[in-house]
């Protein structure tokens, strides 16, 4: 095996061959510009592996000296590439064809973002409000009447602090803007095009545009040099059309670049820059300043909104401090919507609401009222219970109260009404309230009805209740 190349050069070619198609496939692809056989990375490797004239001569001399010894893989690959007519022109033209779309996109997209970003900033009401508020604060602090300030001062807004609470000027700026314009935005989300422009070096973009123009002209020269070699008419027409279209688009891209730059300078004049100062402003630095300020403003605005929300919640909680839960607006509204049963003299309910107070007042008035035919005395719970055997409890159309014997001193109207109210309050109370009453009653003065009926009532109770003995009545 004949090896005449430098070992480093030979190893580099052998390593490159591991990621490339076979040699005969590469030769056919280069002759027909087949993009499916060789990729963009393969073209870039072939550009670094092209044989030089000196290497070709050494390989030919070694082959003539030893015609029976086969060539090594690297030498065979270089001789195959050297057999292709116009190899350098083919590779450069093919590389330009594959790189053109990405190169054009890298230039056109930042220019479009810059154009859109300037329009977004001009139409942004939040940005105008921020500048006006910052100018008013600066005039107040400095005691001056300035008509404007440089936008480079936006980088220092977060560094200036007050001497009392040590809050930054940006914090006070956010608070004032939220007071004057509650519907204002965070500014950062409304200028996405300028935030993308802050990452692009427009000076390098200008150089890339010049490089694209030079490569376009070099591709046209390569196509003209390939006219001396074998090239199919269809392929020649296709490449000619592509290069002509690229030439027009590159020229148009140059015009767009010039107009966008002029519009940016006009935009700086609109913001108050002088003409000499506008020519010195770099686009990337300007966009970076606005991007950083908008990002800091959004963060500070969110923090101010959180503080305002906490203060509002604290004030709302202080309104109900020291009050019972039933005195709040929520519970008072529920109590106000409860139906009013005007037909019932005693309000049915277990909570400490207004109905229980009314029932207590009505019960107290009925118990303290005294009929004309009864003796004056204070009644107790035991007295009311003792009068239950003689008070009719069943009412209806089929039952009628028995006639009272003459001379009876039983209270008829008041006692019946009291017993009816007692029955209603006991039967219509909630189970929880009834159980509470039973427990309270058991802890008090417990007098058994069985014991009362067995031993009878005392004379003082009979006289107090007006149950003196009469004809037809026994106690």
Of 56, 78, 91, 83, nearest to 10 by C-alpha is 78
Domain 7-84: CATH class, spelled out: mainly alpha
Read off the tokens for 446: 């417990």
Of 284, 288, 283, nearest to 267 by C-alpha is 283
Q: How many helices (H) and strands (E) does the chain have?
A: 20, 0
Task: Give the side-chain half-sphere CA count within 13 A for 182.
Answer: 2
pLDDT along the chain (475 residues), means of 10: 73 82 85 81 85 84 80 82 84 90 94 94 92 91 85 87 86 91 90 93 94 93 82 86 94 95 94 90 93 93 90 84 70 53 41 59 65 45 42 41 45 65 64 66 55 64 63 45
Contacts of 94 (CB under 8 A, 6+ apart): 30, 33, 43
State residue 444's pLDDT score: 52
- The full set of domain ranges for the chain reads 7-84, 110-300
Contact 246, 217 (CB under 8 A): no
State residue 344's pLDDT score: 39
- What are the Cα distances from residue 81, in Å, to 47, 91, 177? 11, 11, 70
Contacts of 221 (CB under 8 A, 6+ apart): none
Read off the tokens for 290: 């606005």
- The conformational region for residue 319 under phi > 0 = left, psi -120 to 50 = alpha, else beta, is alpha
Contact 321, 194 (CB under 8 A): no
* Residue 384 DSSP label: H
Give the 3-state DSSP-derived string for 282-345, with helices as H, strands as E and coil as C: CHHHHHHHHHHHHHHHHHHHHHHHHHHHHHHHHHHHHHCCCCCHHHCHHHHHHHHCCCCCCCCC
Contact 160, 137 (CB under 8 A): no
Contact 470, 388 (CB under 8 A): no
Question: Whole-angstrom Cα distance, residue 419 to residue 411?
Answer: 12
State residue 208's pLDDT score: 94
Question: Whole-angstrom Cα distance, residue 323 to residue 309?
Answer: 23
State residue 409's pLDDT score: 47
Domain 110-300: CATH class, spelled out: mainly alpha
State residue 102's pLDDT score: 93
Question: Whole-angstrom Cα distance, residue 2 to residue 79?
Answer: 13
CATH topology match: 7-84 vs 110-300: yes
State residue 443's pLDDT score: 57
């Amino acid at each position: 095996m004949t090896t005449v190349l430098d070992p480093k050069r030979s190893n580099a070619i052998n390593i490159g061959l591991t990621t490339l198609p076979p040699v005969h496939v590469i030769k056919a692809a280069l002759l027909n510009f087949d993009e499916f056989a060789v990729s963009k990375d393969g073209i870039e490797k072939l550009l670094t592996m092209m044989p030089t004239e000196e290497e070709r001569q050494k390989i030919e001399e070694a082959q003539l000296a030893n015609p029976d010894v086969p060539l090594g893989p690297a030498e065979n690959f270089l001789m195959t590439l050297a057999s292709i007519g116009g190899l350098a022109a083919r590779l450069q033209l093919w590389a330009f064809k594959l790189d053109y779309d990405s190169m054009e996109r890298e230039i056109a997209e930042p220019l479009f973002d810059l154009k859109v970003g300037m329009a977004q900033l001009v139409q942004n009401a939040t940005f105008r409000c921020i500048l006006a508020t910052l100018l008013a604060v600066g005039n107040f602090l400095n005691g001056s009447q300035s008509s404007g300030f440089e936008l480079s001062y936006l980088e220092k807004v977060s560094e200036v602090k007050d001497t009392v609470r040590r809050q930054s000027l940006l914090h006070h700026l956010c608070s004032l803007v939220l007071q004057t314009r509650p519907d204002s935005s965070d500014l950062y989300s409304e200028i996405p095009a300028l935030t993308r422009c802050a990452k692009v070096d427009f000076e390098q973009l200008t150089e890339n545009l010049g490089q694209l123009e030079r490569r376009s002209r070099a591709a046209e020269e390569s196509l003209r040099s390939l006219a001396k070699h074998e090239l199919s008419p269809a392929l020649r027409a296709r490449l000619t059309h592509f290069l002509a279209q690229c030439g027009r688009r590159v020229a148009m891209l140059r015009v767009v670049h010039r107009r966008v730059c002029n519009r940016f300078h006009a935009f700086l004049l609109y913001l108050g820059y002088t003409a000499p100062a506008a020519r010195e402003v770099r686009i990337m630095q300007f966009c970076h300043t606005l991007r950083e300020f908008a990002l800091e403003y959004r963060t500070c605005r969110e923090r101010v909104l959180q503080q305002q929300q906490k203060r509002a919640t604290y004030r709302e909680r202080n309104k109900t401090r020291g009050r019972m839960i039933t005195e709040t607006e929520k519970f008072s509204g529920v109590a106000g919507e409860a139906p009013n049963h005007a037909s019932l003299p005693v309000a049915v309910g277990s909570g400490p609401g207004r109905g229980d107070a009314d029932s207590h007042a009505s019960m107290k008035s009925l118990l303290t009222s005294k009929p004309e035919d009864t003796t004056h005395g204070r009644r107790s719970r035991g007295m009311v219970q003792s009068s239950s055997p003689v008070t009719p409890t069943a009412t209806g159309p089929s039952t009628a109260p028995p006639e009272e014997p003459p001379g009876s001193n039983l209270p008829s109207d008041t006692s019946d009404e009291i017993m009816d109210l007692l029955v209603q309050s006991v039967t219509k109370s909630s189970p929880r309230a009834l159980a509470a009453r039973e427990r309270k009653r058991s802890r008090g003065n417990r007098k058994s009805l069985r014991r009362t009926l067995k031993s009878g009532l005392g004379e003082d109770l009979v006289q107090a209740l007006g149950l003196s003995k009469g004809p037809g009545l026994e106690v």
